[in-house]
Amino acid sequence: MTVDALVDAYLAHHLHFRPVDASFMGLTGHDHRLPPAGPDTAAAERAGLATLREQLAATPAGETPGQRLDRRYVEAELTLTEAALDHAPRLANPAWYSGEAAFGIISLLLPHPGPPRGDAIAARLAAIPAFLAAAEAQLTAAPRAITDRAIRESASFAGYLRTEIRRHYDWNPAWDAAADTAAAAFDRFAAAIAHLADAPAATGRAYLALLMTSAHGLDFTPETALARAEADYARLGDELIALAKANDPARSWQEQVASLSAMTAETPETVIDLYRKLDAKAVAGALDLVTPATEYALEYRLLSPDLTQIAADLYFLPYRSPPAANPGTGSLYWVQPPAGADYLAANAVAPVKIIHAVHHGSIGHHTQNARARTAPSRMARLAGTDCALGLAMLPAGTMVEGWACYAQDLMAEAPGFYSATERVFLKQFERRNAASVIVDIRLHTGEWSPEQAMDFYASAGFAPSRIAAEVTRNAMLPATRLMYWLGIAAIRTLRRRWRGTTAAFHDTLIGHGHVPIAWAADEMALKGQLD
């Protein structure tokens, strides 16, 4: 079997069980379906994985970078999917059902190249009651935080189906009955899971260790990662205090960070212009550091009114990776429209610059996603797709999130891009990323309860309004928060080994697409690009 045929077989399997992923990827043929979720689904998936294992064994590695990475990807995905069925089955996760059902519709309503997908929307609306009924029949227990998330998502999307969806420009009155029936199904689902038994959040050390090695390509244990993160967290705390003292001895770092909320656009109506201006400034400042993807457009647009409420309640990203198989000519970046007395402070210059213009826009996710579409590995073009609950394939994580966080720090090398106080803010971000590694590991090894994790996040300076959601994400998606800080560390280590220019290093790195940093390093070493 050739590697290309193996990838075809794997993707057919993956998308059969995850058709909503296909909608986000831009792959056709699945938009009318929701995932299978009956009592025989897990057994059918295991049988498919066993067949793929046989095909993998019969497939030579290949000689090109794309072939090597594709085969490696398929092998990792088989291992990870098998382990997830044992240790963190999605069919036992109430938020998986609420997320897939809601984003099965949202994925088809987002702007995209091509004609409206009305027939597919109607089909998925009609499929929601049976999908959620299957969930009710199977769910027995879940961590309370995850159940609460599913209840909130269900209530919000039921409201959307009854009201706001009718304001969407693709709305068809023929969907009325199906939308109302689906909304009632969400109501029933929320009521049915309200009394689910609580379950431990920890998935176990063995599973965490497997995710670190098979998904992220890391060659060290959770204990080593924890020790490094704790040392980095302490060091960054000292650096944060010292940096703030050098900037303004009269104010603590907390006071300096808080002062940034007063530096805003002049009016709520000019906030979107601030996004555009800071993105352009980042692109201009990065020209000697990396090649920004200026050939692929990034449009900052006010979020359409029909999506405003669910964007606040669900995993609705302001920037979402464009569908790799059908990317069109550019991406959209949603900006919340003016609302509320704290609108300007919530969109102050510093967070817009660091989080939106750099991390997600300009040279961050935007440039990385554009480069991934021409990666030699087919799997690496698709794996970093933002789906209903996160990335389509976990091995993309250290590159996707490691790069975007690294890009924030990289812009400190652009003269004049950050002010002295913004550098204090940036240092706080670094420290928070290290804190997330600590929670990821201590929570899933069972050392900390969710309540202890929340206390730690509070002490680390996380906004109170974000803490519960952060811990829920930690619980639901093990080894995802650790990939940010460990991804940054891997990029920094690799950069020290690079033999060429700074820009060439960054262009080469993200040119591998959405693969673990460790796999990209192996390919770079084979080409003699590293010391």
d(CA 77, CA 53): 11
Verify that 283 and 166 share a domain, yes or no: no
Taking residue 114's Cβ as centre, other Cβ atoms within 10 Å add up to: 10
Residues 6+ apart with CB under 8 A from 147: 94, 95, 193, 194, 196
Q: Please indicate, yes or no, whether residues 192 and 341 belong to a single structural domain of this protein.
A: no
Total domain count for the chain?
Answer: 2
User: Using CA atoms, how far apart are residues 479 and 222, in angstroms rounded to an integer?
Assistant: 10
Q: Residues 106, 210: one domain?
A: no
User: Residue ranges of the alpha helices (H) in 347-396?
Assistant: 349-351, 365-372, 378-382
| Whether residue 187 is found in the same domain as residue 303 | no
Residues 475, 434 share a domain: yes
The answer to whether 127 touches 182, Cβ cutoff 8 Å, is no
User: Could you tell me the residue range of the domain that residue 60 belongs to?
Assistant: 3-198
Question: Which residue in this structure is represented by tokens 């002049």?
Answer: 266
**Which residue type occupies 369?**
N
Same domain for 157 and 246: no
- Rounded Cα distance between 217 and 220, Å, is 9
Nearest to 175 by CA among 187, 161, 189: 161
pLDDT of residue 61: 86
pLDDT reported for residue 63: 87
Residues 106, 123, single domain; the answer is: yes
In angstroms, the CA 361 to CA 367 distance is 8
Last residue within a domain, chosen from 141, 175, 198: 198
Q: What is the pLDDT of residues 430-473, one digit of tens each?
A: 999 999 999 999 999 999 999 999 999 999 999 998 999 999 99
Does residue 42 form part of some domain?
yes
- What are the tens digits of pLDDT across the range 201-235? 999 999 999 999 999 999 999 999 999 999 999 99
H helix runs in 212-325, sequence order: 222-247, 253-259, 271-285, 308-313
Report the percent of the chain where pLDDT is more than 90.
Answer: 96
CA gap 30, 12 in Å, rounded: 10
Segment 177-190 shows an average pLDDT of 98
Q: Are residues 234 and 379 in the same domain?
A: yes
- Other CB atoms within 10 A of residue 88 CB: 18
Q: What is the CA radius of gyration of the chain?
A: 23
pLDDT of residue 522: 97
pLDDT of amino acid 224 = 98
Mean pLDDT of 474-479: 96
> pLDDT at residue 112 above 90?
no
In one-letter notation, the amino acid at residue 304 is: S
In this prediction, residue 208 carries a pLDDT of 98
What pLDDT band is residue 256 in, cutting at 50, 70 and 90?
Answer: very high
* pLDDT exceeds cutoff 90 at 106: yes
Yes or no: say if 467 and 457 are a contact pair by the CB < 8 Å rule. yes
Q: Which of 139, 172, 198 finishes a domain?
A: 198
> Do residues 307 and 327 share a domain?
yes
Residue 490 is predicted with a pLDDT of: 97
The verdict on residue 190 lying in a domain is yes
Q: Is residue 531 domain-resident?
A: no
Q: Are residues 243 and 188 in the same domain?
A: no
Judge whether residue 115 has pLDDT over 90: no
Nearest to 457 by CA among 483, 500, 428: 428
The pLDDT of residue 58: 97
Q: How many helices (H) and strands (E) does the chain have?
A: 24, 4
Is residue 133 assigned to a domain? yes
Same domain for 337 and 194, yes or no, is no
Reported as type and span, the H/E element at residue 494 is helix 482-497
Cβ–Cβ < 8 Å for 186, 132: yes
Of 149, 182, 198, the position where a domain reaches its end is: 198
Residue 128 in domain: yes
* pLDDT over 90 at 130, yes or no: yes
Asked whether the beta carbons of 145 and 450 are under 8 A apart, the reply is yes
Task: Provide mean pLDDT across the span 490-516.
Answer: 98
Strand-pairing partners, residue 319, are 333
**Residue 384 binned pLDDT confidence (cut-offs 50, 70, 90):** very high
User: pLDDT for 42-91, tens place per residue?
Assistant: 999 999 999 999 999 999 988 899 999 999 999 999 999 999 999 999 99
CA 327 to chain CA mean position, Å: 18
Q: Indicate whether 511 and 443 sit together in one domain.
A: yes
